[in-house]
Copies of this chain bind each other. A is one copy, B any other.
Amino acid sequence: MAARGQHYTAARRMVVEALASFGRPATISELLGGAPGLAASTAYRNLTVLSEAGVVTRVSGADEFGRFELSEQFSGLHHHHVVCTDCGLVLDTGAPPGLEAALAETIQATAQANGFDITGHRLELVGRCTSCR
């Protein structure tokens, strides 16, 4: 962060700590609820900054709200998401080794086929959560 000429301020700490306490991708309004006194414009600005710095990752669910979570290098493990098509809830879920191995092969093949420089992947399992069923 400092290496980018940026400060790790109180507002940014609030954002990071609020995200950490959720343990799943949070919307901006959830974030503002979990960080009292934080201005919306500051939250958006810092989410962008933190995202560029690689601290935070933007997640897209089933609805149109942007969701954010701590990047894998800060939150711990590589993981995927389960998305509810009804209410938009997003939860974290594990990444089994067998699946990751199959993904690695696919990525290799896809990179060659499309000329993309592939840096990561996102897997979302979509369905309906317990309360929407």
Contacts and interface: CB of A to CB of B under 8 A. Distances in A.
Copies in the complex: 2
Interface residues of A, number: 41
A110 interface: yes
Interface string A96-133: 10110111011101110111111111111111111001
A116 B102 contact: no
A103, A115, A116, A126 pick with most chain B CB within 10 angstroms = A116
Contacts of A122: 122-124, 126
A50 interface: no
A60 interface: yes
A129 B117 CA distance: 7
Interface of chain A, helix or strand or loop or mixed? mixed
A130 B102 contact: no
Interface in A62-118: 64, 66, 82, 84-85, 91, 93-94, 96, 98-99, 101-103, 105-107, 109-111, 113-118
Contacts of A84: 116
Contact of A126 (B103, B106, B113, B118): B118
Nearest to A98: B102
Closest 9 CB pairs of A and B: A118-B127, A60-B60, A102-B102, A115-B130, A99-B102, A116-B127, A122-B124, A119-B127, A117-B128
